């Protein structure tokens, strides 16, 4: 089986001055994931490697540099799903995990449950070898400044530099045909404490079924949840080609909600697809061994 990898760094109105950093971030994530896949490694290791790079990059809304919530704290959500077993590991409302994808992975691999939140999720992560950090270590200067402006004035996208930060995602298929999808986010800026968006919800922000394909979504979580967008995309993949299925999913989002968003996917053969109805999306994929990243 030919390995395949697709990543995204969020669908929003990424401003011109941030476009290069977002594309570069996606390329670095592709490189980390592709290094695993090209060496015959496991798709789970590939999505985890790609997501860690994106989480560590403050230009994205995941891990370090996530948007702050209404109270000025970072609260992260993440999920990873195995297309063979349909098992997921999901974690939400994490305040002390530098790489939330590692907590999600620990749940996937070691937990009898598929989703843990808050202190319980952090405790489980620590017990399973995931390093915790101080809450302040997740706060970037740019996001602190944006939050201060919102506090003094009111919450607006302009204080967040046009929402340049976006949720991150990756979908990988390895040479054994194993398919994994993953999504990680700091959620929406100035969200209420405890708010959980689509990203860690199975079928909403992420889904993988080796019989059809794997998906990671980004955009307005409350809208994406309404149409269970990731699972809808996988259902579209039963009959449509990768690009067409991605497009249909965004059309569904537009037809049934007022929110905007985007998604990346791989079909069961590893063919990448993507679509968005936000002004822009940062994404990347591998074509014949070449790493291609773009902000469109």
Strands 179-185 and 76-82: antiparallel
Determine the Cα–Cα distance for residues 189 and 140; give it in Å rounded to an integer. 13
- Return the residue of 66, 99, 199, 232 that touches ligand ASP, per CB under 6 A: 199
- Angle (CA) 137-142-147 rounded to 5° is 90
Q: Cβ of residue 177: shortest distance to ligand ASP, in angstroms?
A: 28
Q: Which H helix or E strand runs over 122? A: helix 118-127
Residue 256 CA: distances (Å) to CA of 88, 92, 187, 202, 228: 27, 26, 22, 20, 11
Q: Is 187 in the site for ligand ASP (CB under 6 A)?
A: yes
Q: Are 123 and 103 in contact (CB under 8 A)?
A: no
- Nearer to ligand ASP among residue 10 and residue 284 (C-beta): 10
Q: Is 258 a catalytic residue?
A: no
Q: Is 143 in the site for ligand ASP (CB under 6 A)?
A: no
The residue at minimum Cβ distance from ligand ASP is 221
* Residue for token pair 């594309």: 23
Q: Is 197 in the site for ligand ASP (CB under 6 A)?
A: yes
- Nearer to ligand ASP among residue 89 and residue 205 (C-beta): 205
Determine the Cα–Cα distance for residues 161 and 172; give it in Å rounded to an integer. 31
Q: Cβ of residue 261: shortest distance to ligand ASP, in angstroms?
A: 7
Q: Is 164 in the site for ligand ASP (CB under 6 A)?
A: no
Q: Cβ of residue 1: shortest distance to ligand ASP, in angstroms?
A: 30
How does DSSP classify residue 136? G
Positions in the binding site for ligand ASP (CB under 6 A): 10, 61, 166-167, 185, 187-188, 197-199, 205, 218-219, 221, 224
């Amino acid at each position: 089986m030919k390995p395949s990898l697709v990543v995204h760094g969020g669908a929003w109105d990424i401003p011109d001055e941030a476009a290069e950093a977002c594309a570069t971030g996606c390329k670095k994530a592709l490189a980390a994931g592709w290094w695993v896949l090209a060496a015959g490694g496991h798709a789970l290791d590939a999505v985890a490697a790609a997501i860690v790079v994106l989480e560590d990059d403050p230009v994205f809304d995941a891990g370090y540099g996530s948007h702050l919530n209404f109270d000025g704290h970072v609260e992260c959500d993440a999920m990873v799903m195995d297309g063979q077993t349909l098992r997921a590991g999901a974690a939400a409302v994490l305040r002390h995990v530098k790489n939330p994808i590692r907590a999600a992975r620990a749940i996937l691999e070691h937990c009898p449950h598929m989703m843990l939140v808050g202190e319980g999720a952090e405790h489980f992560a620590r017990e399973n070898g995931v390093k915790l950090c101080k809450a302040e270590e997740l706060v970037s200067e740019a996001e602190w400044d944006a939050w201060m402006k919102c506090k003094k004035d009111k919450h607006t996208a302009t204080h967040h530099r046009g929402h340049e930060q976006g949720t991150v995602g990756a979908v990988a298929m390895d040479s054994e045909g194993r398919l994994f999808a993953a999504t990680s986010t700091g959620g929406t800026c100035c969200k209420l404490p405890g708010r959980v968006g689509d990203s860690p919800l199975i079928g909403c922000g992420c889904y993988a079924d080796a019989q059809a394909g794997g998906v990671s979504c980004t955009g307005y979580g409350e809208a994406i949840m309404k149409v269970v967008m990731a699972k809808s995309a996988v259902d579209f993949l039963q009959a449509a080609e990768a690009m067409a299925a991605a497009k249909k999913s965004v059309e569904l989002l537009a037809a049934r909600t007022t929110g905007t968003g985007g998604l990346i996917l791989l079909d069961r053969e590893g063919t990448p697809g993507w679509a968005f109805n936000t002004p822009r999306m940062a994404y990347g994929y591998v074509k014949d061994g070449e790493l291609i990243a773009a902000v469109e």
